[in-house]
């Protein structure tokens, strides 16, 4: 039984979790800063890192208490070291180093995108139910990537967004429509009352490529909002416009994501499709992906799609088993990429 403490502070959630063998969650504490950033309509990096400093120790203490584990019951400490906001990442990495050093435990730096993918293993009774190669569609506030995963830690990037990430597009369009922050869940909720056929919004197919572009779609929504503005609608008519636009936008994003993921999975002979990242919480995306693909589609539970530390501890378990360790010189890498190999350490100096 391998217990790993995971720590996540890459954006605006301060999170810590204890996970057994990469699958069983003993505790999973997430302190969200959403209420703080709401007034800015997006994450304010400086405010985020200051808030992480305030929250990190109580969050780690709470997760250890909840798990009922003592420090010497842990096997390793894992932390997200990129991609993300430099100032935010730094708080988690330093906390992890302090605990690892103080308790004599190995330190593992984990890629945030890899962690999102490994949310699919959490809570799954049979690890064998995931069969490689799998096609991963990672859709979050910062990323939209199609990744072929041929084994643990083995990735080939097939494509990604050329401009906005899918979640970013949801957030920006949410703001245009005057919806709550973050835009993703707000658009999903508004869309329930709307008619997705009212506006035929553009889809950027970009030929045969596995790349994405959402900026044209966002501009199309902006144009419609601007065109309707001067008429000064009654509140009820305005609400109708918002819900119809939300529904039409959601369908357009989901359409492109599903079609490209499906085509990539077929071309690369994937056995399954895995969804990951905050946008994977979207019910229409989950449903359409499942219905339109002939392959099994796996999604993390909705609560584990958005940022959390259980996924960090989960990914770390498989890396730990493969002998991966980080050095004490582990640094944050804000634009860290998901490399295609299982390189044993992200830094030159290995722990002894
Ligand atoms: O993975 P995540 O928590 O953070 C990043 O790594 O970026 O993803 C956050 C993103 C936000 O853009 C948010 O609007 C989006 O995920 N999101 C959703 C839903 N829930 C969260 N987008 C669409 N539908 C949702 N239900
Ligand atoms: Zn994330």
User: What is the percentage of the chain residues whose pLDDT exceeds 90?
Assistant: 85
Q: Whose CA is nearest to atom 16 of ligand 1?
A: 278
Averaged pLDDT, 44-72: 96
Distances (CA, A) of 78 to 43, 109, 204, 310: 24, 6, 38, 10
Distances (CA, A) of 336 to 109, 156, 279, 330, 349: 11, 15, 20, 13, 18
pLDDT at position 340: 53
Instruction: Decide whether any atom of ligand 1 lies within 6 Å of the 108 Cβ.
Output: no
Cα-Cα-Cα-Cα dihedral of 189, 25, 119, 55, to 10°?
70
- Residue 17: φ, ψ to 5°: -150, 155
What is the spatial distance between Cα 28 and Cα 10, in angstroms, rounded to a whole number? Answer: 16
Averaged pLDDT, 315-340: 95
User: What is the percentage of the chain residues whose pLDDT exceeds 70?
Assistant: 93
Print burial letters for 28-51: b (CB count within 10 Å at least 16), e (below 16). Answer: bbbbebeeebeeeebbbbebbbbb
Ligand number nearest CA of 282 is: 1
pLDDT at position 350: 42
Q: How far does the centroid of ligand 2 lie from the alpha carbon of residue 276, in Å?
A: 9
Instruction: Decide whether any atom of ligand 1 lies within 6 Å of the 167 Cβ.
Output: yes
What is the spatial distance between Cα 202 and Cα 253, in angstroms, rounded to a whole number? Answer: 9
pLDDT at position 40: 83
Residue of 106 and 237 predicted with greater confidence: 106
pLDDT at position 277: 98
pLDDT at position 126: 65
Instruction: Report the relative pairing of strands 144-151 and 272-276 from DSSP bridges.
Output: unpaired
Instruction: Decide whether any atom of ligand 1 lies within 6 Å of the 141 Cβ.
Output: yes
- Kindly state the DSSP code that residue 246 receives in the 8-state scheme: H
Q: Whose CA is nearest to atom 14 of ligand 1?
A: 184
Whether residue 146 has pLDDT greater than 70: yes
Whether residue 341 has pLDDT greater than 60: no
Q: How far does the centroid of ligand 1 lie from the alpha carbon of residue 130, in Å?
A: 24
pLDDT at position 53: 97
Q: What is the pTM (predicted TM-score) of this model?
A: 0.94
Coarse DSSP helix, strand, coil percentages of the chain, rounded to the nearest 5 percent: 45, 20, 35
Averaged pLDDT, 116-137: 90
Averaged pLDDT, 36-44: 85
pLDDT at position 345: 45
pLDDT at position 240: 85
Tokens 């994450």 appear where? 43
Whether residue 235 has pLDDT greater than 70: no
Averaged pLDDT, 166-180: 95
pLDDT band at residue 41 under the 50/70/90 scheme: confident
Averaged pLDDT, 110-116: 98
Instruction: Decide whether any atom of ligand 1 lies within 6 Å of the 253 Cβ.
Output: no
pLDDT band at residue 234 under the 50/70/90 scheme: low
H or E segment at 139? strand 134-139
Whether residue 133 has pLDDT greater than 80: yes
């Amino acid at each position: 039984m391998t217990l790993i403490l995971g720590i996540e502070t890459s954006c605006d959630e301060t999170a810590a979790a204890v996970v057994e063998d990469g699958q069983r969650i003993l505790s999973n504490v997430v302190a969200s800063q959403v209420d703080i950033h709401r007034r800015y309509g997006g994450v304010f990096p400086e405010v985020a890192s200051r808030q992480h400093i305030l929250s990190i120790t109580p969050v780690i203490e709470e997760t250890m208490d909840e798990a009922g584990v003592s420090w010497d019951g842990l096997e390793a400490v894992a932390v997200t070291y990129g991609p993300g906001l430099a100032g935010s990442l730094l708080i988690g990495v330093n906390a992890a180093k302090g605990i690892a050093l103080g308790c004599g435990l190995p330190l593992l730096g984990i890629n945030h995108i890899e962690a999102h993918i490994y949310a699919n293993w959490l809570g799954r009774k049979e690890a064998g139910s995931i069969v490689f190669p799998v096609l991963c569609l990672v859709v979050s506030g910062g990323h939209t990537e199609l990744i072929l995963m041929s084994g643990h830690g083995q990735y080939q990037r097939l494509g990604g967004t050329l401009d906005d990430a899918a979640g970013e597009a949801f957030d920006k369009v949410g703001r245009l429509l005057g919806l709550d922050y973050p835009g993703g869940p707000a658009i999903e909720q508004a869309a329930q009352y709307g008619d997705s056929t009212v506006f035929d919004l553009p889809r950027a197919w970009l030929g045969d490529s596995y790349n994405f572009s959402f900026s044209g779609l966002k501009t199309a929504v902006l144009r419609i909002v601007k065109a309707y503005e001067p008429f000064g609608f009654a509140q009820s008519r305005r609400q109708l416009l918002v819900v119809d636009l939300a529904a039409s936008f959601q369908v357009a994003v989901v359409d492109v994501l599903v079609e490209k993921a499906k085509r990539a999975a077929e071309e690369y002979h994937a056995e399954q499709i895995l969804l990951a990242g905050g946008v994977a919480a979207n019910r229409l995306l989950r449903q359409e992906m499942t219905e339109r693909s002939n392959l099994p589609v796996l999604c993390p539970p909705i609560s584990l799609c958005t940022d959390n530390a259980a996924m960090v501890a989960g990914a770390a378990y498989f890396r730990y088993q493969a002998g991966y360790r980080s050095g004490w010189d582990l640094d944050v890498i804000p634009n860290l990429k998901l490399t295609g190999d299982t390189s044993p350490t992200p830094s030159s100096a290995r722990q002894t």
